[in-house]
Copies of this chain bind each other. A is one copy, B any other.
Amino acid sequence: MLELAILGALKEKPMHGYELKKRLSFLLGHLWKISFGSLYPALKRLEAKDAVERAYTVKEKARNRYVYRITPKGEEMFRQLLEETGKSSEITDSDKFSLRLAFFQYMEPELRLWLLEKRRGYLAEKLEEMAGAGKSRYKESDSYRLGLYRHRQELLRSDIRWLDELIEQERKYLLEKERGRGSPRKGEKGGEKLLLDGESLEKATPIQA
């Protein structure tokens, strides 16, 4: 989960821990509280698995900074993690699903559509469940629980509407692609190149120079 996010962020450019945290917070902050207590251990795990490497150690200013870079092995791992959709929690868990969605640009269109439809089905099922259970809930709930319950349903419906839009877009795209008119969509023109604001890679010394 965190590892997927880290690898996805490091695909953009090499970063050190603090920067990585800021980047991930910016990217996924709305759906996730990323803490150092999990980030650093995760980085170490990834390093042990050769998925990332310590690219540079910048000593000039402030404290040492260890700049991490994704390796080819890491790229491969990213792809696997991203497309690993065997477990149902990949659909069920709203955070996991959103994380994947944030990296949809790296995913096969067919898999994208499949995931979206799976998720839609799951949410629709849940909504139906809730509507069914609603009657028994009426009797035993106070107004607060009832309100919470109704609000959840509303959020669910909003989620479903949103997924419907995404699915429609994806279908349209696939249809056009099949017709051989592979016109690229907004946001994908650059392929995998997602460059950031003015920050260039600062002067750095190779780790074992």
Residue A27 at the B interface, CB < 8 A? yes
Identify the closest chain B residue to A30 (Cβ): B152
Interface of A is mostly: helix
**Could you say which of A42-50, A62-70, A181-189, A201-209 contacts chain B?**
A181-189
Instruction: Please tell me how many copies of the chain the complex holds.
Output: 2
- Is there an interface contact between B101 and A185, defined as CB atoms closer than 8 Å? no
Provide the residues of chain B in CB contact with A142, threshold 8 Å. 104-105, 186-188, 194
- Is there an interface contact between B130 and A30, defined as CB atoms closer than 8 Å? yes
Provide the residues of chain B in CB contact with A154, threshold 8 Å. 158, 162
**C-beta contact mask, A139-179 vs B, less than 8 Å → 1, else 0?**
11111111111011011001100100110000000000000
Provide the residues of chain B in CB contact with A105, threshold 8 Å. 142, 144
- Is there an interface contact between B101 and A148, defined as CB atoms closer than 8 Å? yes
User: For the side of the interface on A, what is the size category?
Assistant: 35 or more
Beyond A140-B197, A147-B166, 9 additional contacts (C-beta under 8 Å) are A30-B152, A140-B195, A140-B196, A142-B188, A143-B186, A143-B187, A145-B187, A151-B158, A151-B159
Residue numbers of A with Cβ under 8 A of B are 26-27, 30-31, 33, 93, 98, 101-102, 104-105, 126, 130, 133, 136, 139-149, 151-152, 154-155, 158-159, 162, 165-166, 185-188, 194-197
